[in-house]
Amino acid sequence: MKNVNWRIENINSPLILFSPNLPEKKEIKSKRFKIFMFAIVALIMFNGIDFVFWGK
């Protein structure tokens, strides 16, 4: 799970670098976006596992 989180951080880091003067409200949206991305990645992972089991 740490690897997935690190990947999400990597996706977000360029956005933070290009817009350093973000207000705090956007920071909250960024955190929500990270949670949203994590949920999507987890869903894809679980679907992938399901697919492997169904394949067998």
Dihedrals phi, psi of 24, to nearest 5 degrees: -65, -30
Dump pLDDT digits (tens) for 1-56. 555 555 555 555 555 555 555 555 566 577 888 888 888 888 777 776 666 666 55
How many domains would you assign to the chain?
1
pTM for the predicted model, two decimal places = 0.36
In the prediction, which pLDDT does 34 show? 82
Q: Which domain holds residue 12?
A: 2-55
Expressed in angstroms, the distance from the first to the final Cα of the chain is 25
CA angle 28, 33, 37 (to 5 degrees): 155
